[in-house]
Amino acid sequence: MLVIGNWKMNKTVAEARVFIKELLRERFDKKCSVGIVPSFVALHIAGELLEGTPIGFGAQNCYFEDQGAFTGEVSPLMLKDLGCKWCLVGHSERRHIFGETDELVRRKAVALLRHEIRPIVCVGETLEQRNSGKAISILSAQLSRALESLDLGNEEFVLAYEPVWAIGTGMVAKPPQIEEAHNFIIEHCKRMHPKANFRVLYGGSVTPENCKEIAVNGVGGFLVGGASLSVEKFSSIIRFCI
Ligand code: PGA
């Protein structure tokens, strides 16, 4: 299992330092891979404190160019320099608040792969799309466009299924819905890239209380938002995954 904590726009550098030091006091078995994705400003301190530990870190977003006149953006080259292992791409908040398209997601994934940073491509349907029976076709369209012509080799490629209606709402998808979506994502990606291996994380209101129930067939770990802001909650989700 892989458990990634997405802090979103939370925690100052001082708060990040306290959190990471506390998390490092917890002892986790190496069988579970763990990472945090803090805001850009906390990446440097994360790199310093997590160096040589089993806990990895990454970013929540990036641009696809290496450098240039792109005010406000951060490049994969810069993330690599800081030691980032992962980078989220196409999180639903990026898509819905900042208008990110599947094409942008694809270009970011290409740029990250070029710098050997592992993209975590997020996909998911809105409640309206689910209620009108379009969940699977939306996933299909997002994946087809975002993963088109990526050079994946036989490396493990990580995706996250995050139903938009389950993010930060306390509404969790039902185990059969999760299983159907995860199995569809894996099959679809395999059809597109037969040699690659795919891991699909579930994200959307994951808590220590519900993680057992939603760890169904096809779930390769969790992308945890709100619950990853507390060392206690995040650690108990990690412990369940070991
Ligand atoms: P949540 O967020 O756990 O707070 O629902 C998950 C995410 O957006 O990655």
Contact at 8 Å (CB) between 151 and 118? no
pLDDT band at 153 (very low <50, low <70, confident <90, very high): confident
Among 4, 206, 209, 237, name the best residue to mutate to test ligand 1's pocket (greatest count of ligand atoms within 8 A of Cβ): 206
When divided into structural domains, the chain yields a total of: 1
With 90 as the cut, is the pLDDT of residue 31 above it?
Answer: no
Active site residue 162: yes
**pLDDT at position 149, please?**
87
Q: Which of 239, 222, 232 is nearest to 19 (CA)?
A: 232
Q: Which domain holds residue 229?
A: 2-31+38-241
CA of 78 to the centre of ligand 1 (A): 25
Alpha-carbon separation of residue 170 from 7, 97, 138, 147, 173 (angstroms)? 16, 20, 22, 30, 10
- Indicate which residue's Cα is closest to atom 2 of ligand 1: 225
Question: Which CATH number belongs to the domain containing residue 138 in this structure?
Answer: 3.20.20.70
CA 49 to chain centre: 21
**pLDDT at position 100, please?**
97
Contact at 8 Å (CB) between 222 and 190? no
With 80 as the cut, is the pLDDT of residue 188 above it?
Answer: yes
For the chain, percent of residues with pLDDT exceeding 70: 100
Q: How many CB atoms lie within 10 A of CB 117?
A: 21
**pLDDT at position 86, please?**
98
Q: Which of 43, 3, 29 is nearest to 227 (CA)?
A: 3
Output the pTM of the full model: 0.96
Joined tokens for residue 184: 């569809």
Render pLDDT for 61-93 as a digit per residue (tens, 0 to 9): 999 999 999 999 999 999 999 999 999 999 999
